Amino acid sequence: MKLRNIAIIAHVDHGKTTLVDELLKQSGSYRENQRVAERVMDSNDLEKERGITILAKATSVVWKDVRINIVDTPGHADFGGEVERILNMVDGAIVLVDAAEGPMPQTKFVVGKALKVGLRPIVAINKVDRQDARSQEVINEVFDLFAALDATDDQLDFPILYGSGRNGWMAHSAEGPQDQGMAPLFDLVLEHVPEPTVEEGAFKMIGTLLESNPFLGRMLTGRISSGSVKPNQTVKVLAQDGTLVEQGRVSKILAFRGIERQPIEEGVAGDIVAIAGLQKGTVAETFCDLSVDTPLKAQPIDPPTVTMTFIVNDSPLAGTEGDKVTSRVIRDRLLREAEGNVALKIEESSEKDSFYVSGRGELQLAVLIETMRREGFEIAVSRPRVVFTKDADTGEALEPIEEVLIDVDEEFSGVVVQKMSERRAEMVEMRPSGGNRVRLVFYAPTRGLIGYQSELLTDTRGTAIMNRLFHEYAPYKGEIAGRNNGVLIANEAGEAVAYALWNLEDRGPMMIEPGWKVYQGMLVGIHTRDNDLEVNVLKGKKLSNVRTTSKDEAVRLTPPIRMTLERALAWIQDDELVEVTPKSIRLRKRLLDPNDRKREERRKEAEGV
């Protein structure tokens, strides 16, 4: 059967996964009466909850006797490592662009990578049924983007389709016709995307996606570059430098057939398959016949920009809610994650029982922490820090700078510009984006953006949309002011009492509720001033036999501030940690004993830090 391999790439929320749903439906991959979940490719619980794609996944459809392998990719820049690897597997890409928002930072990132690999993309303008759609202007913006990314003449001559993924139609004009469904898109893929290029020689395949299957063990998905592979065939795995990683037998070969994977008797060159049976081979390594000596070239992956420390939980409540608490279990889990996700880097710290985990952004690391807590892990994590590099010529420290694009109502643009300039950002563009909204573009240090998302939503009453993308490394921009408020710290262990919390409300908003377990050194509230304050949240009302005229009124408490994982990570300071367990997210001081904290302060003063 003839083959086509394509990836669907776009900015977050531009409708990639919904489009794949329609392609599967209209190609006959489902039975007439089959019940299918919405956004079927987002199979992970976290993906369903957040409405975003985190892991790239493959599927396939048959159209006019041609099998089209489709890869759905994430839209967030934090998961860009997935997209960079995927582009090695495909021969064409559908660039999906929202008819109202136009090309966004992530569109620029993935299109740049696709053009560099030499793909000739198809541009699909999605959501043309939106009231604020501006299809023609968006086409011009896409053309300008391709030109700015040094596209060749062939790549600039891209075919264009208009449509609505949710309503299940694509056409050569924004007006329709709408009765042909996705047929125009399928036909354009067959006509525009070349057949997979097949090299001569024995079996070779580069690993692109790694997953674990409860029955088959480790499974690696990739595109076969040359030759063919059969079950029970002995193959070897070569690292990028040509060294032998392992030799083993392929136990099963699975091909994508709709949303299911089916065992096949032979994987042929050009097809995307998953192979099981090898214990050590991982992503970016070459799986090949025993006669092959030279590995295939893998696409280089951009370096991580943010790092966090994962520490074994040593609080007094450790081990009460999770069952995976030891450093060995945490280390194994982190190394397993780094195997399949090449954008993550794990290093053991010089301090005992802690690890440095580096990634593309706070969201990528927060998703890893959330996944681990759902698996029963207990860990303490530090505030994210940026990864500095050194200039090869001058030895000067360079920090990551991001391109930040903020869409905001005109009335709030002043406060956004002011806050961004306080965070050492430099404004490069300001233009109207329709409907009394302004699009602001900044170059800002990653350091300054940590924790800004929630502040931005507060300043703009939830109307701003922020998108960010790594831009370059640049010289250090100088100090950035941190949090203005101090914290309220529990001075004893026990259960919080409503009367004590009520008396402390003048000191600042609380982060805990009555009945919650607390311990010495745990953060229980935000101080209204800039210093930290130790408080007693266990103190009950003194009872006496003297009657009073005030009566014992019921204590009415202000609802506490709810700290989500992302908000907690961005809010804490360097001397604080977030304790994450399957049931709770608690904030605490790194040093729980107040005497240890004073000693540390004196040491820092003496050293002039």
Contact 228, 266 (CB under 8 A): yes
Per the listing, tokens 């370059």 go with 472
> Which 3 state secondary structure label does DSSP give 208?
coil
Task: Count Cβ neighbours within 10 Å for each residue of 298-335 and write b for 16 or more, e otherwise.
Answer: bbeeeebbbbbbbbbbebebbeebbebbebeebbebbe
Phi, psi torsion values for 166, nearest 5 degrees: -65, -40
CA 327/CA 354 separation, integer angstroms: 8
CA 292/CA 232 separation, integer angstroms: 18
Tokens read off for 357: 């985990």
Is 16 marked as a binding-site residue?
yes
Is 589 marked as a binding-site residue?
no
Is 18 marked as a binding-site residue?
yes
Is 598 marked as a binding-site residue?
no
Residues 6+ apart with CB under 8 A from 7: 70, 71, 73, 83, 86, 87, 89, 90, 92, 93, 94, 114
Q: Name the DSSP letter for residue 279.
A: S
Report the run of H or E that residue 210 belongs to, with start and end: strand 209-213
Single-letter code of the amino acid located at 192: H
CA 369/CA 52 separation, integer angstroms: 17
Cα–chain-centroid distance for residue 430? 27
Phi, psi torsion values for 507, nearest 5 degrees: -75, -20
**What is the DSSP track for 143-198?**
HHHHHHTT--HHHHS--EEEEETTTTEEESSTT---TTTTHHHHHHHHHHSPPPP-
CA 282/CA 334 separation, integer angstroms: 15
Tokens read off for 308: 């966090």
Is 484 marked as a binding-site residue?
no
Is 15 marked as a binding-site residue?
yes
CA 104/CA 145 separation, integer angstroms: 10
**What is the DSSP track for 508-577?**
--BS--TT-EE-TTBEEEE-SSSS-EEE-S--PPPP-S---TT--PPP-PPPPPP--HHHHHHH--TTEE
Is 129 marked as a binding-site residue?
yes
> Which of 72, 139, 159 shows the shortest CA–CA distance to 99?
139
Report the alpha-carbon angle 446-448-452, nearest 5.
105
CA 308/CA 369 separation, integer angstroms: 11
CA 192/CA 383 separation, integer angstroms: 47
CA 341/CA 359 separation, integer angstroms: 10
Is 234 marked as a binding-site residue?
no
Q: Name the DSSP letter for residue 120.
A: -
Neighbours of 508 (CB within 10 A): 20
Is 126 marked as a binding-site residue?
yes
Numbered residues of the known binding site: 13-18, 126-129
Numbered residues of the known binding site for GTP: 13-18, 126-129
